[in-house]
Structure formats: C-alpha cells, structure tokens
C-alpha cells in the first residue's frame, strides 16, 4: 500500500517538475547565438524559412540547427541553410546548402559565457555545393541589463575559400532584447564580417523581430532584416521559424 501511494505521489509530481524547468532558450531568430547550452540529454531542433531579396536575385533558404546536450555545459551542433532555391532573371536553381558540425561549451555563469566552434566540410548539392572546407569560432556572451533588457554579443573569426582563395575574417554580432512578458520578447540586432570576401569590403546586416514561447518547450519567431553595407548581404529578408525542445 505504501509503495502504491509513493508511486501515485511521484506520478502526480511529474507535471510539477516539468513546470519548474526553464522555458526553451533557442539560438534563433537573432543573428547572435546565445551562450547557454541545452543541457545533458536534451535534444533541440530549430527550423526556419527565409526569403532573401537582392537587386536581381531572390533566394529561399530553410535553415536548420540540431542541438544535443552531451553534458550540461557541452552540446553537439549540426547546422546548415538547408534546402535552397535561387531565382535569377527568371531562371531557377536549387540544391542543399553545406552543413556544419560543431560544439558549444558554456564555461562561465556570470556573465554567461560560451564558445561555439563549427567546421564546414565540402558538402551540399547543385549550385549550392561547396568544394572547400570552412570553419569559424565565436565567443558568445549573455548580459542581463535588468529584468526586462538584455544584451547578447558575439565575436569571433572565420576562415573560408570563396573561389578566389582562402581568407580570414573577423565576425561580430550584437542582439538587444526586451522581454515584453516572460514568454514574449522583441529584439533588434546587427552583425558585421570584415572582409566579406577575399580582397572585399565589410558586410553589415541588421534585423528586428519577435519570439513567442508556447507552453515551455516550443518557440515561434518572426523577423525582418536588411543589408546596410557590402555586396553579400541581401537588400531585405523576411524569416519565420519554430524551435522545439525534447
């Protein structure tokens, strides 16, 4: 009888345990990634659809990020722009964008610091196939300015070959977030890469959007952005996505 009562109490407590878990913390939709890992044994998927408009090119991509917590501070990441379709002068081309495999390691709590490293082997298909490997590493920081405001800067380096030769560039991004409620936030952010290509100039992009947490383990997001400088950013882009924790 005592064992049965204990089992009933344990089962009744399971929903309460789920309620005490922190809401999902996704890396999308902002340009800067967060410093926190998903936690040991947690699998999280972050999917999106994005429409990029250039002066003479329209591009549709389906970015995806898969995250799995190896330990509490360390997560494995598989990431890419997914299936992509470009339209140029009425001509369509499509294929799979290159994939990366990487790690995020959260190593300090206050301020919250994490490091993210990615490696892109030659991969992809069609016109989006990459023949050369690439890699980047970034430091991610989360700073709570108050109960409502927070900052999320990233800084790092990338090495890649754009077809004209290998080059190394500096990366930086910054997200300013305002928490309307505990489960609804709005943000503005921007990112810079210098140079954007071998012998190229600096690329600068900005965007703004909102994210809404449904329940505790699902996030919906919407954002719009624009290229402020350089040849590689789109004139404007619109994106929407969903993130789910398991």
pLDDT per residue as tens digits for the range 191-241: 999 999 999 999 999 999 999 999 999 999 999 999 999 999 999 999 999
Query: What distance in Å separates the CA atoms of residue 180 and residue 161, rounded to the nearest whole number?
Result: 42
Query: What distance in Å separates the CA atoms of residue 52 and residue 29, rounded to the nearest whole number?
Result: 15
Asked if 84 contacts 74 with a C-beta cutoff of 8 angstroms, the reply is no
Cis check for the bond before 82: say yes or no (omega within 30 of 0).
Answer: no
Structure confidence at residue 21 (pLDDT): 81
Structure confidence at residue 105 (pLDDT): 98
Of the candidates 107, 106, 136, 115, the one whose C-alpha atom is nearest the C-alpha of residue 42 is 106
pLDDT average, residue stretch 147-167: 95
Beta strands in the chain (DSSP E): 43-53, 57-61, 64-69, 74-80, 83-88, 91-96, 99-108, 112-120, 134-144, 149-161, 166-179, 184-194, 203-214, 218-229, 236-245
For residue 14 the two structure tokens come to 């399971």
Structure confidence at residue 90 (pLDDT): 85
Residue 85 lies in a domain: yes
Structure confidence at residue 161 (pLDDT): 93
Structure confidence at residue 20 (pLDDT): 53
Is the full-model pTM beyond 0.85? Answer: yes
Residue 180 lies in a domain: yes
**Strand-strand pairing, 64-69 and 166-179:** unpaired
Structure confidence at residue 2 (pLDDT): 42
Look up the domain containing 99 and give its range.
Answer: 23-245
Angle at 91 (CA atoms; ends 89, 93), nearest 5 degrees? 130
Residue 10 lies in a domain: no
* Residue carrying the six token digits 């926190």: 36
Query: What distance in Å separates the CA atoms of residue 174 and residue 191, rounded to the nearest whole number?
Result: 7
3 state SS for 136-169: EEEEEEEEECCCCEEEEEEEEEEEEECCCCEEEE
pLDDT per residue as tens digits for the range 17-74: 444 589 999 999 999 999 999 999 999 999 999 999 999 999 999 999 999 999 999 9
For the chain, percent of residues with pLDDT exceeding 70: 92
Classify residue 116 by burial, with Cβ atoms within 10 Å: 0-12, 13-18, 19+.
buried
Output 17 or 75, whichever has higher pLDDT. 75
For the chain, percent of residues with pLDDT exceeding 90: 88
CATH code for the domain of 88 = 2.40.128.130
Residue 3 lies in a domain: no
Residue 15 lies in a domain: no
Number of domains in the chain: 1
Q: What is the dihedral of CA 208, 67, 142, 210, to 10 degrees?
A: 20
pLDDT > 60? residue 6:
no
């Amino acid at each position: 009888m005592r064992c049965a009562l204990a089992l009933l109490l344990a089962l009744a407590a399971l929903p309460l345990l789920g309620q005490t878990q922190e809401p999902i913390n996704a890396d999308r939709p902002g340009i800067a990634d967060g410093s926190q890992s998903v936690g040991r044994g947690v699998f999280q998927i972050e999917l999106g659809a994005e429409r990029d408009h250039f002066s003479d090119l329209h591009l549709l991509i389906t970015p995806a990020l898969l995250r799995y917590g190896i330990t509490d501070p360390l997560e494995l990441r598989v990431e890419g722009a997914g299936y992509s379709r470009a339209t140029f002068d009425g001509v369509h081309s499509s294929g799979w964008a290159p994939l990366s495999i990487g790690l995020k390691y959260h190593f300090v709590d206050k301020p919250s610091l994490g490091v993210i490293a990615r490696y892109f082997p030659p991969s992809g298909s069609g016109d989006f196939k990459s023949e050369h490997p690439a890699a980047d590493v970034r430091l991610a920081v989360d700073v709570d300015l108050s109960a409502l405001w927070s900052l999320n800067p990233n800084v790092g380096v990338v090495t890649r070959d754009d077809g004209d030769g290998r080059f190394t560039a500096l990366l930086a991004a910054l997200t300013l977030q305002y928490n309307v409620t505990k489960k609804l936030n709005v943000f503005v952010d921007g990112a810079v890469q210098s140079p954007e290509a071998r012998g190229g100039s600096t690329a600068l992009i900005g965007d703004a959007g909102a994210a809404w947490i449904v329940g505790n383990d699902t996030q919906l997001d919407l954002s719009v952005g624009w290229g402020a400088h350089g040849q590689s950013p789109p004139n404007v882009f619109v994106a929407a996505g969903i993130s789910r924790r398991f």
